[in-house]
Amino acid sequence: MLVFLAVHIIPGLINLLALQLLLPWTFITSMFTHYALWHIFFNMLALFFIGQYIESILGTKRYLVTYFAGGITGGIFFILWDVLILGHHSTAVGASGAIFGIFAALAVLRPNQRIYLFPFPVPITLPVAVAVAFFFAMFIF
């Protein structure tokens, strides 16, 4: 939340924190940077609902490694998609890649775990939820 406030108070800070191909530190800083209040709200809501559960399975250290590995992997895929497929380079912010990595880890560790994927009131297995989220993200972005 402090990074969110700082980005909106300090001019140009977003340019140093948002994911960019030639700035390697941004693979980490972009995970803690958000453009809009709704963006940080929904990222934190997802962590609120799934974070404690997956941390109880992995332990704190492996949970953090999974979070950062998911975020960095998401950043790499964003850069590859942006440059190789779309043919341009833009910036990205947010914890969505890290959160997706946490959900993917849970899908691997607990493939029969049933969850409710908002807004659908039908429980589905985690691998299906991860696949739906992936294709939804590809459609949106």
Residue 101: is its pLDDT beyond 80?
yes
Q: What per-residue confidence (pLDDT) applies to 59? A: 96
What is the tens place of the pLDDT at every residue in 8-34? 778 788 887 888 888 899 999 999 988
What tokens appear for 24 in the block?
Answer: 């390697």
Amino acid at 80: L
What is the tens place of the pLDDT at every residue in 50-100? 888 899 999 999 999 999 999 999 999 888 888 887 777 778 888 989 998
What tokens appear for 30 in the block?
Answer: 């972009």
Q: What per-residue confidence (pLDDT) applies to 16? A: 79
CATH number of the domain located at residue range(s) 2-140 in this protein: 1.20.1540.10
Q: What per-residue confidence (pLDDT) applies to 27? A: 93
Q: What per-residue confidence (pLDDT) applies to 46? A: 84
Q: What per-residue confidence (pLDDT) applies to 136? A: 64
Q: What per-residue confidence (pLDDT) applies to 18? A: 86
Cα distance between residue 92 and residue 23, in whole Å: 12
Enter the pTM of the model: 0.79
Answer yes or no: are the C-beta atoms of 8 and 36 closer than 8 Å.
no
Extents of the domains making up the chain = 2-140
Residue 134: is its pLDDT beyond 60?
yes
Q: How many CB atoms lie within 10 A of CB 82?
A: 18
